[in-house]
Amino acid sequence: MHRGQLFKIFVSLFSVSVAFGAAEAADIDFGFNGRYKTGTWAPLRITVQSQDQPAPFIGNMVIEVRSFSSDTPMERYTAELRLPTTEVYIYCPKNAVQLVVQLVPTTPSKDTALGNIQPSVIQEVPLPTPLSRKDNLVLVLAPSGDKLKRFVEKKQLVSGSDGAQVYVEYLKDSTLLPQDWIGYSAVDVLVIRKTVLTERRISKAQQTALLDWVQRGGTLILSGGNDFNILRGSFVEPFLPVELKSLKKTDRLTDT
């Protein structure tokens, strides 16, 4: 898989059926549009559809990180299955090449003892080529048709004399913002432009994760100008280095 290729695997034809319900994996998305760095954490989002026959599928999601040379997991994570989408944060060792995702039922049928329930492999997911640790990953949350995106698409951005590349990835919507600060582990800069920052758009968990990341050294860039009213009353306003009062036009900047 080539660097820069959108990493999204559709496995809608694969299903796990048991006596007490059935589940179907509809979408698996790793990193930020497939961008991640080794030695950091990255979000793994798995969308699962429960067929509700005769009852909803109830269970855990188990994710194993494996290397090329061994089937023994390098890392292993378990998360409660949350419909429709479960988000887990995965640490990516240097030689990790594959994720193995499993569904583990936790509610047995009348005829099945809990100890006899076996996990069912959903998908073996090859990891895309990681970014170099010296590269810069910039996430942008902005409306579709954003002018910055058109500019970025025409430029090959290089950072510094060491040839490090700048990779700019647009988030489809605010639901893709991490719900834990560790999900920003590979992110160098987050840019938010022309986006309403209310709890209706960005959940409380996402707000806390973003502020925690900034307090730990993360870089957040917010657009101002004609859109500065969007920031008023938002969860980030108390942390801004300026006081939002009114909009004035000037052709000269003062030193104060």
What's the domain range around 224?
Answer: 136-239
More confident residue, 149 or 10: 149
Considering the domain architecture, whether residues 107 and 161 belong to the same structural domain is answered as: no
Torsion-angle region of 217 (φ positive above 0: left; ψ -120 to 50: alpha; else: beta): left
Considering the domain architecture, whether residues 176 and 119 belong to the same structural domain is answered as: no
Considering the domain architecture, whether residues 100 and 183 belong to the same structural domain is answered as: no
Query: Residue 2 above 50 pLDDT?
Result: no
Query: Residue 183 above 80 pLDDT?
Result: yes
pLDDT confidence tier of residue 135, bands split at 50, 70 and 90: very high
* Chain position carrying tokens 């760095």: 37
Alpha-carbon distance values, 23 to 12, 17, 55, 85 (Å): 10, 7, 10, 12
Considering the domain architecture, whether residues 104 and 147 belong to the same structural domain is answered as: no
Considering the domain architecture, whether residues 58 and 85 belong to the same structural domain is answered as: yes
Beta strands in 68-211 (DSSP E): 75-80, 85-91, 96-105, 120-126, 136-141, 158-159, 164-170, 189-192
Please tell me whether residue 128 adopts helix, strand or coil conformation: coil
223 is a domain residue: yes
Q: What number is the average pLDDT over the span 219-238?
A: 84
Considering the domain architecture, whether residues 118 and 151 belong to the same structural domain is answered as: no
256 is a domain residue: no
The dihedrals phi and psi of 192, each to the nearest 5 degrees, come to -120, 120
More confident residue, 110 or 94: 94
93 is a domain residue: yes
More confident residue, 15 or 22: 22
| pLDDT tens, residue by residue, 56-92 | 667 888 899 999 888 889 999 998 888 778 889 999 9
CATH of the domain at 23: 2.60.40.10
Query: Residue 184 above 50 pLDDT?
Result: yes
Considering the domain architecture, whether residues 233 and 144 belong to the same structural domain is answered as: yes
pTM over 0.85: no
Considering the domain architecture, whether residues 153 and 199 belong to the same structural domain is answered as: yes
Q: How many domains does the chain have?
A: 2
Looking at every residue in the chain, the average pLDDT score rounds to: 78
- pLDDT value at position 188? 96
